[in-house]
Amino acid sequence: ADMFANEEGGPEPDWVITEREQFSDFRDLNKDGKMDKDEIQHWILPQDYDHALAEARHLVYESDVDKDQKLTKEEVLNNWNMFVGSQATNYGEDLTRNHDEL
């Protein structure tokens, strides 16, 4: 109710419909209408999700201006704030080391 108060007869916002679908299709694995401990664990720590790969792809997607799937030194420097805030770069610490690939 803090995020959406369903008024009688009123339409649901698109995000509520999407969340309802996400819940029924992907979260409520045993289809009992609620999430148990195992379903919550699977949601928070999915076994088939590589966090490092996802973060690396995110950094490349957001920083690769020419969309060649390679980052130049200029592309990294132009988006330095994203890299400094990323776990993939150890919160920027890895950027201070010499790297031949940069």
pLDDT digit string, tens, across residues 42-100: 888 888 888 788 888 988 999 999 999 999 999 989 988 887 777 666 766 776 776 66
Predicted pLDDT at 99 = 65
Which of 96, 70, 69 has its CA nearest to residue 83? Answer: 96
> For residue 44, what is the enclosing H or E element?
helix 37-44
Say if CB 88 and CB 59 are below 8 A apart.
yes
Predicted pLDDT at 1 = 59
Between 12-16, 31-35, 51-55, 95-99, the lowest mean confidence (pLDDT) is in 95-99
d(Cα 84, Cα 87) in Å, to the nearest integer? Answer: 8
In the chain, domain spans: 14-44, 51-94
Q: 16 pLDDT band (50/70/90 cuts)?
A: confident
